[in-house]
A = this chain, B = another copy of it.
Amino acid sequence: MNALGKLLLLELKDCNKEVLNDLDFLKRALLMAATESGATVLGESFHQFEPQGVSGVVVIAESHLFIHTWPEYGYAAADIFTCGNSVHPEKAAEILIEKLGPDSHSIIEVPRGIMDTQMGGLE
Task: Please tell me if A122 contacts chain B, counting CB pairs below 8 Å.
Answer: no
Known: A68-B81, A79-B79. Is A55-B59 also a contact (CB below 8 A)?
yes
Contacts of A47 in B (CB 8 A): 42-43, 59, 61
Q: Is the CB of A55 within 8 A of B63?
A: yes
Q: Is the CB of B42 within 8 A of A110?
A: no
Bound Cα distance A66, B57 (Å) = 10
Bound Cα distance A36, B87 (Å) = 35
Q: Is the CB of A11 within 8 A of B81?
A: no
Nearest B residue (CB) for A46: B59
Task: Please tell me if A4 contacts chain B, counting CB pairs below 8 Å.
Answer: yes
Task: Please tell me if A89 contacts chain B, counting CB pairs below 8 Å.
Answer: no
Task: Please tell me if A39 contacts chain B, counting CB pairs below 8 Å.
Answer: no
